[in-house]
Structure 1
């Protein structure tokens, strides 16, 4: 049952401040209408450490909604957090939040906003605001006890575990390999590398100078591993770098008795799907839609 809200004009939208941290935490953890897509961060940590765009909706002094977007990267950003208090008018609250956020985004020159619809409650609210379906993110799963063969690479290319000082070079590779909004911010790459169960870079030696040309980051979860990120510089694609990174990752986990590995990729990325099929990754049916709004 939905409680009738006072007039729309009674809603107040403000920017986030640390003194609201507890209220936001309660809103995200205790209500049905929530969206959390942070990948590498806890919500408290992300809101405090990132240059996120965060808005809070208040009614009679009570927090009734929030929306948080990632720091814009190459004129795009993602809705990472959203929540509306149960038994309030979700449409009014979300519309008030988005109206305030959209104005800010346009001033910043953002051209596209994306959201991964982990739960579908937001679709009927965002569609009237101009959001549209873009594509599916598909999940592939491998469950093989036999490790792949050792990778074959050109003599000039080698693979090693990542180091902290690789992050800047990894970000360059990432931004060369992907178009917005699929690029990762350097802060996300740093956090992902820090908490990864296995992370490796491929580097190319040219005239005695090593240059990072690819990387992968993988995590462990309750019943397997997840290849969270794979990127190869377009200048060395089709030379076996991606296959070598995946093969080394699978061999690493196989030696530790981890035989189930998953990976996400875009439904339209047939090149990556072909690569993963080579290693016996198959769709598991857990697909999620990405919706976007064009602001340009």
Structure 2
């Protein structure tokens, strides 16, 4: 398997913004993990190489994505072009993940197993909801002490405490319960006898928590099955190589890259003006 290397991944430019390549799918996203990281994990596990446009191209895409609705109908990234002629050209991270799950038989069961597929869809939506809660405390609230304390007492509450909490929606205990009780898999995955797309989405969610010192301790202490699952996914062939490679972006949240890029552009303009 060949994955892009270095800070400026190679891309076969066919068109102004590398909308397609002659042989490989294109993943347009910021040089950060963000919502594209589960997509990268699935591609790595499936042994499917891909191209990502370099940062300069992403800056150009930023300038048009809110105006060019043919390629960016929801005015955002990621965008994934999976076919040579662009027949499969998608935005929305959840839609991209589900497409890849269908293509690579990662829907929790045999093709056509509607029960397993429905369970995978349900779990994916739950993970997405939890990810939104995490983004709120990390990106919006900037890990303020009060926000972290509230998050640890609600989203990261152990099972019994969560049952007594008035917070709407899931906590990490919801995922821990599915694994600990083998609800949809007797093999230690979330759904079915083999890894499914939800395993990679859940890995990313736990990985985001473990990357924050304020959250890592409670996660490791309260959700041992999720941590064990995270280790297991990290050891899968393809995923293991991707995580150890320089193909994995160091920046976790794209907003950090966007802010840094904007600050750099401002500094460059100021330097040019002062000259």
TM-score normalised according to structure 1 size: 0.30
Considering fraction of residues, name the structure with more strand: 1
TM-score by length of 2: 0.31
Name whichever structure is richer in helix by fraction: 2
